[in-house]
Amino acid sequence: MPSKYILRDLRKNSYYHVANWGTDSQGLFRDDQDRKVFLFYLTIYTGSQQEIKVRYPDLPSRLIGKSFGEEIRIIGYGLLPDHFHLALYQKGRNIVPDLMKRVINGYTAYYNYKYHHQGPVVQGRYKSVLIDKQEIVDLLRRYVYQHSQNNWRSDLEDFSTLTEEEASRVRPYIME
Instruction: Give the Cα separation of 138 and 123 in Å (integer).
Output: 27
The answer to whether position 2 is within a domain reads: no
The answer to whether position 68 is within a domain reads: yes
Residue 1 has pLDDT above 50, yes or no: no
Q: Where are the alpha helices (DSSP H) in the chain?
A: 32-46, 49-55, 61-64, 95-115, 134-148, 164-170
134 close to 49: Cβ distance less than 8 angstroms: no
The answer to whether position 50 is within a domain reads: yes
Reported as a pLDDT band with limits 50, 70 and 90, residue 167 is low
pLDDT of amino acid 125:
85
pLDDT digits (tens, 9 = 90+) for 105-164: 999 999 999 999 999 999 888 888 888 877 777 777 777 666 665 554 444 333 345 455
The answer to whether position 32 is within a domain reads: yes
The answer to whether position 3 is within a domain reads: no
Structural domain boundaries enclosing 34? 14-173
pLDDT digits (tens, 9 = 90+) for 12-39: 888 888 999 999 777 899 988 998 899 9
The answer to whether position 104 is within a domain reads: yes
CATH number, domain with residue 54 = 3.30.70.1290
Considering its fold, how many domains does the chain have in total? 1
Verdict on whether the full-model pTM lies above 0.75: yes
- Half-sphere exposure at residue 4, Cβ-oriented, CA atoms within 13 angstroms: 6
The answer to whether position 156 is within a domain reads: yes
The answer to whether position 8 is within a domain reads: no
